Chain A
């Protein structure tokens, strides 16, 4: 099964030299995977584990902050991305997304989300890379 992710970054106003680049790839993916799902993220990371510990199974993870607390009410609250055990990776603001490869690091680690201050709804999906490094 093939998955084709493409990233495009554009900026025509910040610098005198326009930024406009695009990169695409083709990933061969296998089970386990999770198609797009939504989750209302609360302020305790351990309650919002979206990728379970997988012991070195390479996984591609997409998460997007929907800009709402529950699918309808808008929110400005941020949402932290963490490796289980509270290792902070980054913070999603309303409407933002990330896409990165994750593996369990041989130490039974997963990925969790943690809302900052109040609940945030996110959507997410993940796919396992068949190379399994």
Chain B
């Protein structure tokens, strides 16, 4: 059976008084229900010019489907960062070298695409999307 496992560890030696922080969590990526076996994956890297937006995921994915998204800002200039958001809602920033991993369910077909915008300079990033379904566009006649 197809099994994709995502593991995170978060550690710190000086954050908590008197003790170190060590979080470890691992999960198998699941389809829309509770079965494992994601079949589709997109991976790649792109660059985004300053103050322009990149639509990482079009609205063609399955609405309310199972998607898992990894994004890392691979830009080496510490002053360049990427804003990420869903459609018109800006959510957070990825600075140089920072990464994120989220389940994304494309809740609204045309209003929940993941958008990235470069700030202060051209940014490069890498990404991976794992998913269980993908709706292909209709072929031209």
A residues near B (Cβ < 8 Å) are 1-15, 19, 23, 25, 27, 29, 33, 35-36, 58-59, 62, 64, 76, 81, 83, 87-103, 105, 109, 125, 127, 129, 131, 133
**With A and B bound together, what is the CA distance between A109 and B88 in angstroms?**
14
Interface size class of B (residues with CB under 8 A): 35 or more
B70's contact among A7, A11, A125, by CB below 8 Å, is which?
A7
The prevalent SS among residues of A at the interface is strand
A25's contact among B6, B21, B97, by CB below 8 Å, is which?
B97
Asked if A11 contacts B2 (CB within 8 A), the reply is yes
A90/B15 contact (C-beta < 8 A), A5-B9, A8-B7, A102-B91 known? no
Q: How many A-B residue pairs have CB under 8 A?
A: 157
29 CB contacts below 8 A, A to B, read A1-B12, A2-B14, A2-B15, A3-B10, A4-B10, A5-B10, A7-B6, A9-B5, A10-B4, A12-B3, A14-B2, A14-B3, A19-B4, A29-B12, A59-B92, A76-B34, A81-B102, A89-B86, A89-B102, A97-B6, A98-B103, A99-B8, A101-B94, A101-B100, A103-B92, A105-B89, A127-B15, A133-B81, A133-B95
Would you give the shortest CB distance from A65 to chain B, in whole angstroms? 8
Residue of A nearest to B9 (CB): A6
Residue of B nearest to A97 (CB): B25
The 8 residue pairs across chains A and B that have the minimum distance between CB atoms: A101-B92, A90-B103, A14-B2, A88-B107, A100-B100, A11-B4, A8-B7, A97-B25
Asked if B8 contacts A5 (CB within 8 A), the reply is yes
The prevalent SS among residues of B at the interface is strand
A89/B4 contact (C-beta < 8 A), A7-B70, A105-B91 known? no
CB of B50 closer than 8 Å to a CB of A: no
Would you give the shortest CB distance from B123 to chain A, in whole angstroms? 13
B residues near A (Cβ < 8 Å) are 1-16, 21, 23, 25, 27-30, 34, 37-39, 41, 67, 70, 72, 81, 84, 86, 89-95, 97-105, 107-108, 112, 128
Asked if A96 contacts B27 (CB within 8 A), the reply is yes
Contacts of B27 in A (CB 8 A): 95-97
Besides A7-B99, A14-B37, A131-B95, 17 other A-B contacts (C-beta < 8 A): A3-B15, A7-B6, A11-B2, A11-B5, A14-B2, A14-B41, A15-B41, A88-B105, A88-B108, A90-B103, A93-B34, A95-B28, A96-B29, A96-B103, A99-B8, A102-B91, A103-B90
